């Protein structure tokens, strides 16, 4: 890719920009933010790390969306972060206005771009971006399942004392307290996890995954997670930039898949050069199906509070 823009130069955005550059996923990474000096300073700082880390991706910062013109991919992290006691949904009013403004700029300066949404409440912000840009569902996708799955896998690796690389798993549903870790598809090098860990412990890990973001917010007090969210966003960006056709759980616009339509929800997606190239239909247990529909209902409730 020629150019990737990261919107929002806070902790998540800056971490995304650094990882994108280090992986050399584009010739140029642009960090854009409304606060004067912050994106310029962080972009310059990152570019000065290039001779040490050995990457040639040029990182720069700006307050002007004109500098993002022609970007192939946008990673949108703009918005306020959660604080203790806040749910992702509490962010909705403020972040809707921010994401609307960002989406208009993307539409104007890079009408052919693909958008990876990271701002919360994630599934609803994807919908806002899709509505405002008018982009096809293939070109607006949300980072949620990749992060939730990483948390689930890390907790399982810890409990089983095995490598994180050997744990295959998927977390579907809305990016919130109603997310659906698919125990029926969780394996350790192909061995069903239910053969290796008792149900009670597994349920505790599932519950910890659902509250993974809140757990970090409670520790940090003044902000929310950023290393793992940035890693998850870059995992998706790499799949698109390198046309890898990776199967990752992402928030995608549903048009009848899983018996749901007219909303964004975390489902298994094939990510490649055109964005969401396919939504994979996997068989769910009746319990997982019920949980997924409950999760969808939670997303719809927030959508109903949004005025576009």
CATH number of 265's domain? 3.90.110.10
308 lies in a domain? no
Q: Which residues contact 251 (CB under 8 A, 6 or more apart)?
A: 117, 122, 123, 126, 141, 142, 143, 144, 145, 174, 175, 264, 265, 266
**C-alpha separations of 268 from 12, 23, 152 in Å:** 24, 24, 16
Q: In terms of domains, do 205 and 61 share one?
A: no
Q: Which of 37-51, 90-104, 112-126 has the lowest mean pLDDT?
A: 90-104
CATH number of 70's domain? 3.40.50.720
204-232 mean pLDDT = 93
pLDDT tens digit sequence for 229-261: 999 999 999 999 999 999 999 999 999 999 999
Residue 162, pLDDT above cutoff 80:
yes
Q: In terms of domains, do 240 and 174 share one?
A: yes
Q: In terms of domains, do 218 and 82 share one?
A: no
Q: In terms of domains, do 120 and 186 share one?
A: no
27, 109, 175, 293: which one is catalytic? 175
Structural domains in the chain (count): 2
pLDDT at position 151:
96
32 lies in a domain? yes
Q: Which domain holds residue 171?
A: 145-303
Q: Which of 112, 142, 172 is at the close of a domain?
A: 142
pLDDT tens digit sequence for 62-88: 999 999 999 999 999 998 876 777 676
Distance, in Å, from the CA atom of 154 to the CA atom of 141, rounded to the nearest integer, reads 24
174-198 mean pLDDT = 92
User: Within a 10 A sphere around the Cβ of 177, how many other Cβ atoms?
Assistant: 16
187 lies in a domain? yes
The mean of the pLDDT values for the chain is: 95
299 lies in a domain? yes
pLDDT at position 88:
61
pLDDT at position 230:
97
Q: In terms of domains, do 159 and 295 share one?
A: yes
Nearest to 8 by CA among 175, 87, 125, 111: 125
pLDDT tens digit sequence for 126-148: 999 999 999 999 999 999 899 99
With cut-offs at 50, 70 and 90, classify the pLDDT of residue 308.
confident
Question: What is the pTM for the complete model shown?
Answer: 0.94
Catalytic annotation present for 293: no
């Amino acid at each position: 890719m020629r150019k990737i823009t990261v919107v929002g130069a806070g902790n998540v955005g800056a971490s995304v920009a650094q990882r994108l550059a280090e992986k050399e996923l584009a010739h140029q990474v642009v960090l854009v933010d409304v606060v004067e000096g912050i994106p310029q300073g962080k972009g310059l700082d990152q570019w000065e790390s290039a001779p040490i880390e050995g990457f040639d991706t040029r990182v720069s910062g700006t307050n002007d969306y004109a500098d993002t013109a022609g970007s192939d991919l946008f990673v949108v992290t703009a918005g306020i972060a959660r604080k203790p006691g806040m749910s992702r949904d509490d962010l909705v009013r403020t972040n809707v206005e921010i994401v609307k403004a960002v989406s208009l700029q993307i539409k104007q300066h890079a009408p052919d771009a693909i958008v990876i949404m990271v701002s919360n409440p994630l599934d609803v912000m994807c919908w806002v971006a899709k509505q405002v840009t008018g982009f096809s569902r293939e070109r607006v996708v949300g980072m949620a399942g990749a992060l939730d799955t990483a948390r689930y896998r890390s907790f399982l690796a810890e409990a089983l004392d095995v490598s994180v690389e050997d744990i295959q798993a998927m977390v579907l549903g809305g990016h919130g307290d109603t997310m659906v870790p698919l125990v029926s598809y969780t394996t350790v090098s192909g061995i069903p996890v239910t053969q290796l860990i008792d149900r009670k412990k597994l349920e505790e890990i599932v519950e910890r995954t659902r509250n993974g973001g809140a757990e970090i917010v409670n520790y940090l007090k003044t902000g929310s997670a950023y290393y793992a969210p940035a890693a998850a966003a870059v995992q998706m960006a790499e799949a698109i930039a390198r046309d890898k056709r990776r199967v990752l759980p992402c928030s995608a616009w549903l048009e009848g898949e899983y018996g749901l339509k007219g909303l964004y929800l975390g489902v298994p997606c094939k990510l490649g050069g055109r964005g969401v190239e396919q939504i994979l239909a996997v068989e769910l247990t009746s319990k997982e199906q019920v949980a997924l529909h409950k999760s969808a209902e939670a997303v719809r409730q927030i959508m109903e509070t949004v005025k576009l």
